[in-house]
Amino acid sequence: MIELCGVGKVFPGGQGGFTALDNVELRLPAGEFIAIVGKSGSGKSTLINLIAGIDRPSRGEIRVAGTPVDALDESALALWRGRTVGVVFQFFQLLPTLSVVENVMLPMDFCGTLRPRAARARALELLGQVGIADQADKLPSSLSGGQQQRAAVARALANDPALIVADEPTGNLDTHTAMAVLNLLTDLTAIGKTVVMVTHERDLTSFADRIVTLADGKVVGESAPRASVRNARETADA
Amino acid sequence: MVNAIVGTRWLKLFRDLEAEWGRVLLMVAAIAVSIVAVGAILGAHAVLTRAITANYLDTHPAAATLDLEGDAGAAALVLARQHPAVADAEARDVILARAQVGADWRPLLLFVCDDFVAMRLNTIERLDGAWPPATGDMLIDVTATAMLGTEIGRRLRIKTAQGMAHEVPVTGRVNDHGLVPAWQERIGYGYISRETLASLGEPPVLHELRIALRDPSADAAAVAAVANDVGRQLAAHGIVVHEIRVPPPRQHPHYKQMTTMLYLMLTFSVMALVLSSLLVANSLSAMLARQAREIGVMKTVGARTGQIIRLYATLVAVLGAVAVVVAIPAGLMGARALTNAVAGLLNLNVADNWVPLRVFAVQGCCGVLVPLCVALVPILRASRTSVRATLDQHGIGSEGLRLRTGHFPLAVRNALRRPGRLALTVALLSAGGAMFMTALNVAESWDRNIAKIYETRHYDVEVRFYQPQSVDLARSLRELPGIAVVETWGYSPVAVAKQGQIDVVRAYPDRGHASVVIMAPPTAMRLVSFPVLAGRWLRDDDTDAVVLNHAMAAQMPEIRVGDTIDLSIAGRRAAWRVVGLVEEIGSVGAAYVAADTFERIAGTGGQVRMLRIATLADSPQARVDAIRAIERRLDEDRVSVETVLPLTELSMAMTDHIMILIRLLIAMAVILAAVGTLGLTSALGIDVLERMREFAVMKTIGATPRRIVVLVLAESLFIGMLSWLAAFVFALPLTLLLDTLVGNLGFVAALPFVISPGPALMWLVLIAAGSILASGIPARRASQLSVAQALVQL
Ligand SMILES: Nc1ncnc2c1ncn2[C@@H]1O[C@H](COP(=O)(O)OP(=O)(O)OP(=O)(O)O)[C@@H](O)[C@H]1O
Ligand SMILES: [Mg+2]
């Protein structure tokens, strides 16, 4: 469950600063695939950064699975982020001097979740899940964009976080590869993860459980196109 | 797989180092060089201070010397040894003679004793040849052989007070570790027995009673008290004591000179360490700037600020540790080399080369902690930046401090884009430059001070006699061809007297170090003109007035103009009123009094012990000829001469004493300058690397490679010039400090503060050349880069 109460973000500059987010109220249920859409400059990245604990709000409260994210100090925030949030960036952001498997191991090292030998085993397993186990010992620069983004997804999953946050993860990929990565992310909800993704993809309704639309720093729309489908499926399963 | 053993973040650190091995090597080398210097100097200091003290104490130096009117014979020795505080006593004498070297006569100190084999105080080391010397023979000190142009088996022509020249066979060599090397003092050291002294026509009398105390740690005052006590007991038995000499206890005459020199060098190497740490910090901050995004990513995946700080702090510590490991053996070698050099300079035997462990500990701490402290600044800054800020950062220009630079040329604006890094680079370069200028400035000040010897003394040669001579002698010399002025000066060794006690002077057995004299200039004196520091110079109507030179004043720091002091001339004491202080470069402590009063007290009416003579010479050769003519005339007149001291000898001895220090300073400065230029190269390299994309964009919009080279070059020159300005400013206080330190070492007074244009211009040329050189590689790389390549980078 992600809750935002009266969240605002003002960037310094100009007279009185620039208001990127204004009084955002959101309640996003856990285990869903949430897409955030809106025009360029509408505040999507700002919002997702606040949810991931990468940035702090100027006003308001943010709770993720009961944790008051805005109230944590820097060090507690970092540890919380490492353990409960997996971040996927548009430009992959793999560390260039570490091999693919080592990039995946890095969060486990920083958060002290597993010792190196076990961490390597888990990283290889995750790389298998995203389908690039054979690239494990290569450097990121020798991988294609799609492969790099799969590695980034594997890294986001390293500490088995409940929340995956992705800012335009497909923005730098061709349509075919983008679809593959999207599928990878949607599959995560099946294993109980919450996924929040900023995207410009058009055909969202096929995979997003919920769509949040931003304009000029305000939430202007929230819809749950597949809620009925899912509800129906769950009823059928039962 | 390593990655299954080592924490991934450490792996990352290691890979980063691998990727930038060139710069890493530069950082390690910079730290290592300064740690080598620190180790060499500390090691040498430890070994040398131990050696100098051990060497000196091995000679069993007498704690005090009592100067008797008569012979220090059996009666005196027995009395002295009976004193409860006295451990031992021996009879000695030191005679100032002259030895012929080529066509000239040089001063020769003759050390006389009764029994070389049984010698227990102020012992000498036997090297080769005869031991003990037979009657009529002489041993010479090994440091005097070259200066006297003699060796074992040759004969040396010497003259003593009685005036006749004697050919004395040199039959052996010894080494006297209690004395400053003879070549440095420009005085020969010879050793003869009492019988030999007699064979030279001198009365066979040893005037000195040397005593050692039972308490090995007695201070100067305690020594003087015991010596006075012994003196009173001798007096009670009719043995007259003129004077007591107490050298600084257990301290080699050049101990202070040596330690000051080593501390000075240590200061320089610590500065070098700070510089190299700045170099490390500079390179590191560039590395961190480039890794800002990676730091952001690491923080996003859960790295806490503390972990990031630890990561990079460990990196610096490891670099420091590697440098230390390399530097310790090299520093040890450096210490050996420096020890040998200084030991040669001071004539020390270094028996024990052991460098104490604390030197390595200091090296370790310095090598790891100093770079760490300096590097902590950029590390803290980089690791504390918020995640979003680091992820936002695209290239440079978005960071903190921004200066209004719009109206400056592009190269200047480029240099100012990273004010922090610019400041570091400028600091690095200017520190090197400041020391370079300082070393040369101090050398110039030194020369200026040496020049003062000539500016304040208008005579060419000073002649002293053993016995007062008739003033007619002056007249006869004035008639010689080539002589302009002959002045007759009153002259006598002097002691600062204390009521009810025998006079105590603080002189070493060679009489030169820490001794004082009294001089009486003639009326209408023209041959010296010392700058007055306080009060005034002597007037013709003065009676009890005394003017002290600064070296004398330094020995009595509480004395002011207007005070009264007691001085005793040949045992006759008188009170004097201090009317002035003068600066007299290149002299022992001296007190100047009116001629009439001096003659009355010293009882030398119509007689003279010192002549100062100006020649008409206009060339060095003419001067030498004139001096030889004086020597010949004195020889014909059968006058026994104590010394003939050409002014050139005086300045030469002064220069030899400390020129080595100046050379060391310049060598250090050159090393620092090199480190500075390395720093500039590294900083420019970093700047260019960071702006590759920008250069590529400039190229796509039409900038020619030439224009880019010019841009980088101009930036480099701008930084160079900025550092030159800063160096010039830093050099001012540094020069002042070193002038004071070096001046006190050499002249007992600060050197004149000289900022000469020469060194500043030289550094300007050097820094310009260095800037052009430093920009060479980065500029080439920037201009040759293809657009596609550059845009791919990042
Ligand atoms: N660090 C910052 N300082 C000042 N203003 C900022 C900063 N970051 C974002 N903004 C401003 O806040 C607004 C929202 O930015 P944000 O990056 O959230 O937009 P976005 O919806 O992600 O756009 P895009 O689709 O182009 O990525 C923009 O107008 C932007 O200029
Ligand atoms: Mg965005």
Q: What pLDDT was estimated at residue B500?
A: 56
- For chain B, give every domain's residue range: 13-60+251-393, 64-245, 403-457+651-794, 461-616
Decide whether any atom of ligand 1 lies within 6 Å of the A11 Cβ: yes
User: What pLDDT sits at residue B361?
Assistant: 92
pLDDT at B390 over 60: yes
Element (H, E) at B442: helix B419-456
Q: How far is CA B559 from CA B303, B554, B590, B591, in A?
A: 69, 9, 14, 13
**Side-by-side strand order, sheet with A85-88:** A85-88, A163-167, A194-198, A33-38, A210-215, A218-223
On the question of pLDDT at B571 being above 90, the answer is: no
Confidence at residue B744, expressed as pLDDT on a 0 to 100 scale: 79
Region B367-386: mean pLDDT is 85
Which is more confident, B304 or A230?
B304
* pLDDT tens digits for range B148-186: 888 888 999 998 888 788 999 999 999 998 888 888 778
What's the A81 CA to ligand 1 centre distance in angstroms?
22
Q: Which atom of ligand 1 is nearest to the CA of B388?
A: 1
pLDDT of residue B259: 83
Are the beta carbons of B453 and B654 closer than 8 angstroms? yes
pLDDT digits (tens, 9 = 90+) for B271-308: 777 777 777 777 777 778 778 888 888 888 888 888 99
Residue in chain B lying closest to A90 (CA): B391
**Taking CB atoms and an 8 Å limit, are A74 and B388 in contact across chains?**
no
Smallest CA–CA separation between B697 and chain A, in Å?
21
**pLDDT number for residue B401:** 40
Residues of chain B contacting residue A43, judged by C-beta atoms under 8 Å apart: none
The answer, yes or no, to whether residue B51 has pLDDT greater than 70, is yes
Provide the 10 A C-beta neighbour count for residue A90. 17
Q: Average pLDDT, stretch B125-129?
A: 90
Report whether pLDDT(B49) > 80.
yes
CB A115 within 8 A of CB A121: no
Instruction: Report the percent of chain A where pLDDT is more than 90.
Output: 4
From atom 18 of ligand 1, which residue's Cα is the shortest distance away? A43
- Note the pLDDT of residue B659: 67
Residue A12 in contact with ligand 1 by CB distance below 6 A: no
Taking the Cβ of residue B300 and every Cβ of chain A, the question of whether any pair is shorter than 8 Å is answered with yes
Q: Compute the half-sphere exposure of residue B538: CA atoms within 13 Å on the CB side of its CA.
A: 29
Question: What percent of chain A lies above the pLDDT cut of 70?
Answer: 93
Confidence (pLDDT) at A238: 44
Cβ–Cβ of B8/A52 closer than 8 Å? no
Set of chain B residues whose Cβ sits within 8 Å of the Cβ of A116: 3-8
Position A27 confidence tier, pLDDT thresholds 50, 70, 90: confident
pLDDT at B395 over 50: no
Angular region, B9: left φ>0, alpha ψ -120 to 50, beta rest: alpha
Q: Is B185 exposed, middle or buried (0-12, 13-18, 19+ CB in 10 A)?
A: buried
Residue with CA closest to ligand 1 atom 26: A40
Calculate how far, in angstroms, residue A41's C-alpha sits from the geometric centre of ligand 1. 5
- Is residue B270 within 8 Å of B363, Cβ to Cβ? no
Residue linked to tokens 């899940």: A129
Q: Tell me whether residue B385 is exposed, middle or buried, using C-beta atoms within 10 angstroms of its C-beta: 0 to 12, 13 to 18, 19 or more.
A: buried
In chain A the domains, ranked by start, together with CATH numbers, are: 1-71+182-238 (3.40.50.300), 73-161 (3.40.50.300)
Shortest alpha-carbon distance between residue A181 and chain B (Å): 20
CB contact under 8 A, A74 and B294: no
pLDDT value at B399 more than 70: no
Residue A233 pLDDT more than 60? no
B197 confidence band (pLDDT: 50, 70, 90): very high
Cβ neighbours of B737 (radius 10 Å): 15
Return the pLDDT at B140.
94
Mean pLDDT calculated for residue range B674-695: 72
pLDDT of residue B545: 92
CA–CA–CA angle B768, B770, B776 (5° rounding): 105
Q: Does B667 touch chain A (CB under 8 A)?
A: no
DSSP conformational letter for B115: -
- Among candidate residues A79, A135, A75, A64, the one with its CA nearest the CA of residue A104: A135
Which one of A84, A102, A139 would you mutate to disrupt binding with B, by most B Cβ within 10 Å of its Cβ?
Answer: A102
Question: What's the token pair of residue B27?
Answer: 């950082």
Among candidates A84, A89, A12, A17, which has minimal Cα distance to A49? A89
Nearest residue on chain A to B310, alpha-carbon basis:
A110
Q: How far, in Å, are B543, B585, B762 from residue B582 at the CA level?
A: 18, 10, 35
Mean pLDDT of A3-11: 88
Nearest residue, CB atoms, B294 vs list A95, A101, A155 = A95
Mutate to test the pocket of ligand 1, among A7, A9, A45 (most ligand atoms within 8 A of CB): A45
Ligand 2 centroid, distance to A40 Cα (angstroms): 7
Buried b (16+ CB within 10 A) or exposed e, B285-309: bbbbbbbbbbbbbbbbbbbbbebbb
- B178, B59 Cβ separation under 8 angstroms: yes
pLDDT of res. B36:
87
Q: Which site among A81, A109, A115, A137 would you substitute to test the B interface, given the most B Cβ atoms closer than 10 Å to its Cβ?
A: A109
Q: Is the CB of A24 under 6 A from ligand 1?
A: no
Give yes or no for a contact between A99 and A109, defined as CB atoms under 8 angstroms apart: no
Q: What is the DSSP letter of B395?
A: S
B484-537 residue pLDDT tens: 999 999 888 777 665 556 666 666 665 554 467 889 998 888 899 999 999 999
Chain B residues closer than 8 Å to A87 by CB: 300-301
Query: Residue B398: pLDDT band by 50, 70, 90 thresholds?
Result: very low
Reply yes or no on whether the pLDDT at A227 is more than 70. no
Check if the beta carbon of residue B262 is closer than 8 Å to that of residue B44.
Answer: yes
Predicted confidence at residue B400, as pLDDT, reads 38
Per-residue three-class SS string for B648-696: HHHHHHHHHHHHHHHHHHHHHHHHHHHHHHHHHHHHHHHHHHHCHHHHH
Q: What mean pLDDT comes out for the span A125-132? A: 87
Cβ separation of A93 and B293 shorter than 8 Å? Answer: yes
pLDDT confidence of residue A129: 85
A39 Cα to the center of ligand 2, angstroms: 9
Decide: B41 and B49 in contact? Cβ < 8 Å: no
> Is the omega angle on the peptide bond into residue A57 within 30 degrees of 0, that is, cis?
no
Judged by CB atoms closer than 8 Å, whether chains meet at B301 and A106 is answered as yes
> How many CB atoms lie under 10 A from the CB of residue B744?
15
A218 C-alpha to ligand 2 centroid (Å): 15
Closest approach atom of ligand 1 to CA A217: 14
Q: Which atom of ligand 1 is nearest to the CA of A44?
A: 21
Mean pLDDT score across all residues of chain A: 84
Q: Is the CB of A42 under 6 A from ligand 1?
A: yes
| Mean pLDDT of all residues belonging to chain B | 83
A82 in reach of chain B (CB within 8 A): yes
Distance B712 CA to ligand 2 centre (A): 35
The residue whose CA has the least distance to atom 1 of ligand 1 is A11
Is residue B329 predicted with pLDDT exceeding 50?
yes
Summarize pLDDT for A171-191 with one digit per residue, the tens. 777 888 888 888 888 888 888
Query: Least CA distance to A81: which residue of chain B?
Result: B302
For residues A57 and A51, give the distance between their C-alpha atoms in angstroms, rounded to a whole number: 9
pLDDT 10s digits, B204-214: 999 999 999 99
Q: Nearest-CA distance from A95 to chain B in Å?
A: 6
pLDDT score, position B612: 93
Nearest CA to ligand 1 atom 27: A40
More confident residue, B245 or B703: B245
State the pLDDT at residue B461.
92
pLDDT in tens, A56-109: 888 888 988 888 888 888 888 888 888 888 888 878 788 888 889 999 998 898
Ligand 1 centre to CA of B305 (Å) is 25
Residue B394 is predicted with a pLDDT of 43
| Residues B8, A49: C-beta atoms closer than 8 Å | no
**CA quadruple A86, A91, A92, A98: dihedral positive or negative?**
negative
In the numeric block, which tokens belong to residue B596?
Answer: 């009439």
What is the number of alpha carbons within 13 Å of residue A132 lying toward its C-beta? 29
- What is B30-95 written as a DSSP string? HHHHHHHHHHHHHHHHHHHHHHHHHHHHHT---SEEEEESS---HHHHHHHHHSTTEEEEEEEEEE
In A12-81 the beta strands, taken as DSSP E runs, fall at 18-28, 33-38, 59-64, 67-68
* ipTM, two decimals: 0.85
- DSSP states of B208-253: EEEEEES-TT--HHHHHHHHHHHHHHHHHTT--EEEEE-PPTT--T
Which candidate, B171, B168, B188, places its Cα nearest to that of B128? B171
Q: What is the pLDDT of residues B738-793, one digit of tens each?
A: 888 888 777 777 888 888 898 899 889 988 888 888 777 777 777 776 665 555 54
The encoded tokens of residue B446 equal: 């030194």
